[in-house]
Amino acid sequence: MASLPTPPATAAGATTKTYSSSFTTTSPAVSSWPVFAQSSKKCSIKSLKHKVSCNAGSSDNSLNNLDRRNVLLGLGGLAGAVNLTSVPSVGASPLAAPDISKCGTLPLSGFKPGEDTPTGGDCCPPDSSQILDFEFPKNQTFKVRPAAHLLSPKYIEKFNLAIKRMKELPADDPRNFLQQAHIHCAYCNGAYTQSSSGFPDIEIQIHNSWLFFPFHRWYLYFYERIMGSLIDDPTFALPFWNWDTPAGMTIPKYFNNESSALFDPKRNQSHLQAVIDLGYNGADADTTDVEKVTNNLAIMYRQMVTNATDPTSFFGGEYRAGNEPISGGGSVEQSPHTPVHRWVGDTREPNGEDLGNFYSAGRDTLFYCHHSNVDRMWSLWKMLGGKHKDITDEDWLNTSFVFYDEKKNLVRVYVKDCLFTNQLGYDYQRVDVPWLKSKPVARVPRGGVAKKLAGKIKQTKDVSFPVKLDKTVKVLVPRPKKSRSKKEKEDKEEILVVQGISYDSEKYVKFDVYVNDEDDDVSAPDQTEFAGSFAQLPHKHKGKSRSKTNFRAGLTELLEELGADDDENVLVTVVPRSGSEDITIDDIKIILV
């Protein structure tokens, strides 16, 4: 069973640490760290396995002052920090920050001319003739990002005030709320090209590849700095929507206050007080709240543990200058990240606005809390040990982006400088991580399923690929090697790959994958046979409406739990869920990594 190490305690009083990148960070005295309120009320969601508490904010009861034991200190602080040159290697091909003066966005379907849609330059942030290279702030105040459902009324007031002042800034101010939302739109909806890398006809897309985590980390970093500066509070930290624990699986109620700057009218009205579905298919499932909680925790275990055994599986596939991101997104990006977006998005809107579409997602303040928790997953994943380490490829490390800081400067940043949250001056409040103890359980041991069904289902070599996913697809897939030893399993993970997935990028697309599940009524996410989900949020591409990518799922632990180690083949079932009527799949195979 995977477990997180216990963070070391730190004595009270301010401390200063010097890191390998030649800067200092001052950690505040324990007594000055923010206090978060926690409600003592009980909710109606009850089960034998999980204790579920209500949203906080209505109570003045508070937790003890945060000390180091309340913060996730990934990798023991910065003891392992790297000191890399900011100059890419000769012959390397990292993706360079875009030339924002050449930004140009694309029209969306469902809008009439003149309506609020990103056409022309509507989705492009202001241009700047000067770009500064990022430098770590000296003597920066260390911040602790709190769980959104545990905020005190005073903290909620600060949060609201910061967003209110962002919305009140002049429309052409790059710190303005809508201008900040445009940043996400421009990077992921066909507005930027790779012209700075020498490929002006190829667009930049920061989803569906190894750029997903670092881009959003940098994005939130500058957003948080802008918020703090607008309320003159350098200690202010962006809350994280703690949807991976039962107490945080609803939208915090202060987001639904119509008089608050945190409010967004473009949200799914039936989900404002509902328990979230981390496996959302585009329509509400017929499940109880307890079943949702159980499934959510199992999905978190599957995506953070079983399907994230190596950097490629967790971060996503490589994406270099001159290429498109076709190698596939990482486990967390697929789910829960994408289903959460769509679950919040308004079904009354033509494109699922706001959070349900890439171009408009940043217009909902909940987006930033959602991605704060996604960023937290990166920190948690690195604490699991083993192969849970950052990518070492120099093209990844030397990829660059540009963002505006709190002084309206356009700043160029590199992936290599965002690997450690402590180095950026923040960390996360320590809260329970119940999904670590939520490993899915098999219906019944399924060993030998593939052999039993060999005469009923065509072998993979006899299937005519590409396969259209307009109905459930079942295929037998040969394994590279059966009955592997413990050492062989430690050296190489067995990975299921659904290859060459072609889909309509302007739709919410999702399908689920099951292993050795012979029943017509497929397993629930809390059962071992459920291997994972492929999910994509709607977005635009220059000159095309279709995208192509891959999906990966870890098999080593799953096959052990199913008692299928000795099987020569596994039965793979692919079930279309949303927008899948015109999906095609080039191949399904199993590899050793």
Per-residue pLDDT at 341: 98
Percentage of the chain exceeding pLDDT 70: 79
Note whether 432 and 461 are same-domain residues: no
- First CA to last CA across the chain, in angstroms? 21
Q: Among the options 149, 182, 216, 271, which is catalytic? A: 216
> Do 397 and 480 have their domain in common?
no
* 426 and 525 together in one domain: no
Residue 207 labeled ligand binder:
yes
What CATH code is carried by the domain that includes residue 497? 2.60.120
In a domain, 2, yes or no: no
At residue 7, the pLDDT reads 38
Question: What is the C-alpha separation between 201 and 263, in angstroms, rounded?
Answer: 38
Do 262 and 216 share a domain, yes or no?
yes
Which of 437, 460, 484 is the endpoint of a domain?
437
Please indicate, yes or no, whether residues 262 and 222 belong to a single structural domain of this protein: yes
- From the list 50, 149, 271, 337, the catalytic residue is 337
Say which CATH number the domain at 341 has: 1.10.1280.10
Look up 271 and say whether it is catalytic: no
50, 149, 182, 184: which one is catalytic? 184
Overall average pLDDT of the 9-14 stretch: 31
Residue 116's pLDDT band, with cuts at 50, 70 and 90, is low
184 in a known ligand binding site: yes
φ, ψ dihedrals at 474, nearest 5°: -120, 125
pLDDT at residue 112, rounded to an integer? 53
Q: Is 541 annotated as a binding residue?
A: no
Is 358 annotated in the active site?
A: yes
pLDDT tens across 331-344, in order?
Answer: 999 999 999 999 99
| Residue 530 falls in the annotated catalytic set | no
pLDDT of 325 reads 87
**Mean pLDDT over residues 305-333, rounded?**
95
Quick one: average pLDDT of 451-480?
79
User: Do both 433 and 352 map to the same domain?
Assistant: yes
Q: Which of 50, 182, 370, 371 is catalytic?
A: 371
Q: Per-residue pLDDT for 40 more than 90?
A: no
Residue 539 annotated in ligand binding: no
216 is catalytic: yes
Domain boundary among 409, 437, 465: 437
> Are 582 and 468 in the same domain?
yes
- Residue predicted with more confidence, 157 or 53: 157
Candidate list 36, 358, 534, 551, residue with the active-site label: 358
Q: Are residues 410 and 491 in the same domain?
A: no
Residue 77 within a domain: no
Residue with tokens 């706001």: 354
Does 158 reside within a domain?
yes
Total of domains in the chain: 2
360 plus 480 within the same structural domain: no
In the chain, what percentage of residues exceed pLDDT 90? 71
pLDDT tens readout for residues 362-420: 999 999 999 999 999 999 999 998 889 999 999 999 999 999 999 999 999 999 999 99
Range of the domain at 564: 449-592
The HSE-up count of residue 309 (CA atoms within 13 Å, CB side) is 20
Give domain status of residue 379, yes or no. Answer: yes
CB burial string 296-320: b at 16+ within 10 A, e below: bbbbbbbbbbbbbbbbbbbbbbbbb
Partners of 466 in the beta sheet? none
Residue predicted with more confidence, 211 or 21: 211
341 is annotated as contributing to ligand binding: yes
C-beta separation of 257 from 156 below 8 A: no
- Assess if residue 349 is contained within a domain: yes
Which one is catalytic: 50, 149, 182, 207? Answer: 207
Q: Decide which of 280 and 60 is more confident.
A: 280
Closest CA to 242 of 430, 6, 8, 2: 430
CA-nearest of 62, 1, 72 to 35 is: 62
Q: Of 9-18, 267-276, 350-359, 435-444, which range is least confident?
A: 9-18
Q: E strand or H helix at 295, and its extent?
A: helix 289-301
Q: What span, in angstroms and rounded, lies between the C-alpha atoms of 279 and 295?
A: 8
Domain final residue pick, 411, 437, 463:
437
Q: DSSP string covering 493-542, please?
A: -EEEEEEEEEEETTS-EEEEEEES--SSSPPPTTSTTEEEEEEE----BT
Does residue 90 sit within a domain? no
Q: What pLDDT, in 10s, does the model give residues 74-97?
A: 333 332 333 333 333 334 699 999
**Mean pLDDT, the chain, whole residue set:** 84
* Within a domain: 311: yes
Looking at the fold, whether 559 and 484 belong to one and the same domain comes out as yes
Domain membership of residue 536 (yes or no) is yes
Question: Same structural domain for residues 165 and 210?
Answer: yes
pLDDT given at position 294: 98
Strand, helix or coil at 229? helix
Residues 161 and 113 in one domain: yes
